[in-house]
A and B are shown apart, each in its own frame.
Chain A
Amino acid sequence: MSETQNLTLVQAVRDALYTEMQLDEEVIVLGQDVGKNGGVFRATEGLFEEFGGDRVVDTPLAESGIVGCAVGMAAMGMRPVPEIQFSGFMYPSYDQIVSHMARFRARSRGRFTLPMTLRAPYGGGIRAPEHHSESKEAFYVHEAGLKVVMPSTPYDTKGLLISAIRDPDPVIFLEPKLIYRAFRGEVPEEDYTVPIGEAVTRREGEDVTVFTYGAMARPTLEAAESLTEEGIDAEVVDLRTVSPLDREAIVDAFKRTGRAVVVHEAPKTGGLAGEITAIIQEEALLYQEAPVTRVTGFDVPYPLYALEDYYLPSVTRIEEGIREAVEF
């Protein structure tokens, strides 16, 4: 039996980086404040001391530069893990992400591949300043050539991040900062992987299937538990990877109940809930007992924090969404 440690989600990020950097000297971490400071969320704490400034690199303040140079390194076969401090600051690197990171393999007909993993904390609920709380995974899901991972537990975080680093293709790894330190979980000390592209059922249920991912997994589970008092038995599926979606798992889980709710903190229009609904329409129309309910952020700019609790799906809103699907 492997030894385990009781880690928070952000410690699991650090543990995955540490593990892979020990195993493969081509893995390097670069970004703003990732070195001496150990990352603004301490996701790279101690790595600079352990692996030195050539492998844990404080860069100038330039997101496009960080991602662009990682593209170049990865094209040469290294495995860079660039960090952007908050996902809301990824936009200067957007051109690098969509024009190059996503397409290098296809454009070079496989001559060049980009085994790089772009990490960024995402999401709201921490009373952060402007531009520090957005959930814009849909931008990257829409771009072919990228994989997009959004874990919700320490165990999955380590396993998925190791998978991402070893993946021959570029991965955007969005970390739910709301739950960076919210709870701990058992994480094996050894290296292990959790496969990219596989959803997991967090709670079995008979009446309705609730799809979610990232930071929304916990309030969704809480809502599902509390609804047992009303006799509603909700299944909760944690997608874990939002691109590629685990189509088979979505369809199978939906067919068991015929009712679905999708919960995400990203805005409603153009969000993942629309895609999941379309998959259900395409594959399981005849099983459908109710319209798919979307419990999401609103289609407005993410507010300053005084109003963010109204913006984010709360347990109450999720419960209401589940009731709506069940009572239809």
Chain B
Amino acid sequence: MGLGLFGYEPEGATVNVFERPYDDPVRVLDEHGAVVGDVPDLEESDLLAVYRYMRIARHFDGRAVSLQRQGRMGTYPPLSGQEAAQVGSAYALGADDWIVPSYREHAAALVRGIPLTQTLLYWMGHEDGNRAPEDVNVLPVAVPIASQVPHAMGAAWASKLRDEDAVVCCYFGDGATSEGDFHEGVNFAGVFDTPNVFFCNNNQWAISVPRERQTRSETLAQKAEAYGIDGVQVDGMDPLAVYAVTKAAVEKARDPDPDRPRPTLIEAVQYRFGAHTTADDPTVYRDDDEVETWRRKDPIPRLESYLRTEGILDDGRVASIESDVEAQVAAAIDEAESMVRPEPRELFEHAYAALPTELERQFEALEALREKHGDAAFLEE
């Protein structure tokens, strides 16, 4: 077990997570929850919040997969195993910061204020699922791989040009680092020194393609080198390490050190326990043994064990959190399922600021047909 720099820095020194070998991930807790690095300065309430978010995410994920299986929801991309990376990073952002997610960041979105109901609605095929509440700084889910990376750079550039403080954290996977958009976005960030955190959820598999087939590079973190920005690997199944690294990257982005680039590429090494999506069967391409090995690194028992050792959690509190979490997810599902099918007018709404005449005509034609034949005529198989 290699101790990270967190373990060695003297108290009070500026911990620099950016000057370490790319293949030496920052760690705080080991697989059993024992402290192996510097524990970030978090209040008890924050630690409990992180734990609770992770529990919500895990429970939500299980429920979402079964909703899909029961035909109550469309295709859904599960996140189990990736809770620490999402919650730890999103929790490290400031109130005015933004996240730019891919399609698996349900937990990060929740931390940043996207209600669970909203996430459910999106995967249930409702247009409203894509609309973040006004005061929530989250861009819409980006499905085309890596296409959101340049957006994150542009959003951060806007913040810089306007002398604002907002930092923009962009999420993407290991597969995304093979796409042109990833390289273009990160390169721009280097050139224009924008307040960005590029957070790579390296979950080892891009559907069936293993991480080692995406790139010959030993790490993904080292790709930062090519663009002159900082790159760091973190144990993505260690919520406290993820928090600490993201916090350091966010602070550097916000209050730049003249000797360092503002942007950081974080490679959070983790594993997706489940399928790529509910349409995928991972048993075709990966071994159960591998899954089991990674399951032993499960972020949730790891943090729980630490919090129990610290006297922050006990059986009673865990049980009470468990039942709260179940109730919260159940309420979100009830709410989402109580939403009626959107009106067909929603097809046309928001295509433009003002609906062009031709589209108004197309909508009227649709309405005339509904009038004549009833909705059943459209909903046939």
B residues within 8 A CB of A32?
206-207, 209
Closest chain B residue to A93, Cβ basis: B180
A residues within 8 A CB of B179?
61-63, 92
Measured in the bound complex, the distance between the Cα atoms of B321 and A25 in whole Å is 61
- Interface-lining segment among B27-35, B37-45, B124-132, B292-300: B124-132
B215 engages A306 (CB within 8 Å): no
B207 engages A33 (CB within 8 Å): yes
Chain A residues 288 to 328 lying within 8 A of chain B, measured CB to CB, are: 298-301, 303-311, 314-317, 320
Chain A binding surface, main DSSP class: loop
Chain B residues 341 to 355 lying within 8 A of chain A, measured CB to CB, are: 341-342, 344, 346-348, 351
Determine if A18 is an interface residue (Cβ-Cβ < 8 Å): no
Measured in the bound complex, the distance between the Cα atoms of B347 and A307 in whole Å is 7
Binary CB contact string for chain A from 271 to 299 against chain B (1 if under 8 A, 0 otherwise): 00000000000000000000000000011
Determine if B309 is an interface residue (Cβ-Cβ < 8 Å): no
Determine if A22 is an interface residue (Cβ-Cβ < 8 Å): no
Determine if B12 is an interface residue (Cβ-Cβ < 8 Å): no
Chain B residues 193 to 218 lying within 8 A of chain A, measured CB to CB, are: 206-209, 213-215
Given A300-B359, A301-B351, A307-B347 in contact, is the A40-B377 Cβ separation under 8 Å?
Answer: no
Measured in the bound complex, the distance between the Cα atoms of B215 and A106 in whole Å is 35
B74 engages A131 (CB within 8 Å): no
A60 engages B75 (CB within 8 Å): no
- Interface-lining segment among A4-12, A122-130, A188-196: A122-130
Which 10 pairs of residues, A with B, have the shortest CB-CB distance? A37-B208, A305-B125, A61-B175, A60-B178, A316-B377, A306-B125, A304-B125, A62-B178, A310-B344, A33-B208
Closest chain A residue to B71, Cβ basis: A127
Given A37-B208, A307-B347 in contact, is the A129-B143 Cβ separation under 8 Å?
Answer: yes
Determine if A265 is an interface residue (Cβ-Cβ < 8 Å): no
B176 engages A61 (CB within 8 Å): yes
B residues within 8 A CB of A130?
130, 141, 143
Other than the given A60-B175, A304-B126, 19 more pairs (CB < 8 A) read A32-B207, A33-B207, A33-B208, A33-B209, A35-B208, A36-B208, A58-B209, A64-B180, A91-B144, A92-B144, A92-B180, A92-B181, A129-B123, A129-B143, A306-B125, A306-B342, A307-B347, A309-B379, A310-B344
